[in-house]
Amino acid sequence: MEKLGLKCVVWLAPEEPNQGFLDFIDDQEIDFHHLGVMETVNASDPITEDTILEAFELVLNKKNHPMAIMCNIGRHRTGTAVGCLRKLQGWNLASIFEEYQRYAAPKVRIHNEQFIELFDTDLVTIPEDPPSWLYRTFAGLKNTPST
């Protein structure tokens, strides 16, 4: 992980990461954002729309790159956030679900797929100068700069 040169970690799990990881982040001077702390009592509860929107404020800010989006296991919360990001990029649902299922297997959660399907991309605020990877497949959303 040290070779990635991360500037930012977005942590989506309600629980704290282990102390070794926190020490590494501190040693590397990586900005750490612990989202969704108060949203749930049960670690298996789905991620909330507010957490996704808060995460996207960080993800779409180029000053935070390179970054990692993580949770305690990396399947469900991370998978749901990435699925919503794929939807924002204009991916079709079949491709989004195939990617989610590939990484969440063998414990795919249908409520995560439903969350992704129902996620309203119009709620996302796109910055004036978003990361270039967003526009590679992102033709139809508002705020797309005209060229």
The DSSP element (H or E) to which 79 belongs, if any, is helix 76-88
Query: pTM, whole model, 2 decimals?
Result: 0.84
pLDDT at position 143 over 50: no
Q: Which whole number is the average pLDDT over 1-9? A: 92
> Choosing from 35, 58, 59, 71, which is the catalytic residue?
71
Q: Does residue 8 carry a catalytic annotation? A: no
For the segment 68-127, what is each residue's pLDDT rounded down to a tens digit?
A: 999 888 888 999 999 999 999 999 999 999 999 999 888 889 999 999 999 999 999 999
CA distances for 92 relative to 28, 84, 86, 115, 139, angstroms? 37, 11, 8, 15, 13
For the segment 41-77, what is each residue's pLDDT rounded down to a tens digit?
A: 555 667 899 999 999 999 999 999 999 999 888 888 9
Q: If you classify domain 2-135 with CATH, what class do you get?
A: alpha beta
Measured in whole angstroms, how far is the alpha carbon of residue 18 from the centre of its chain?
20
pLDDT value for 57: 97
